[in-house]
Amino acid sequence: MSGQKLVADLLSGAGKSLEEHRKREQALKDALANERKRSNQLDERWKVKHGEAIRQIERLATLLTMWELTLGQTDPGYDGDEARLQSETKKKVSGIKKAITDTLKMHEQLEARLI
């Protein structure tokens, strides 16, 4: 094998290695960009969920304050049926969870349109 042929083969091999390296580098850059995008979407989803939870808490705190002001006391000393109290509480919590879920679904639909 002549010197020129050897140098040409080495240059060709180096070129192929460089091209493979560039392809791998681009694949890693793409994967990183996708991961950042996914991370940002998750972050946004948690912000939406948190915001909706805060809105629901504020609404219920307002209702509670109205009841406290109407009754003139913060602890009315409930003497009613405990099972009914638990049932009504579960309904309210279920309503809050539904509102949060609905907000997340709406956010997902908007998010899907942006992609």
For 5-48, give the DSSP string: HHHHHHHHHHHHHHHHHHHHHHHHHHHHHHHHHHHHHHHHHHHH
Asked if 97 and 103 touch (Cβ cutoff 8 Å), the reply is no
Question: Which pLDDT tens digits describe the chain residue by residue (115 residues)?
Answer: 687 887 788 778 888 888 899 999 999 999 999 999 988 888 888 888 888 888 888 888 888 877 877 787 767 676 777 788 788 888 888 888 888 888 888 877 877 666 5
pLDDT at 23: 94
Domain carrying residue 8: 3-114
Domain count, the chain: 1
Cβ-Cβ contacts under 8 Å for 45 (sequence gap 6 or more): 104, 107, 108, 111
pTM above 0.85, yes or no: no
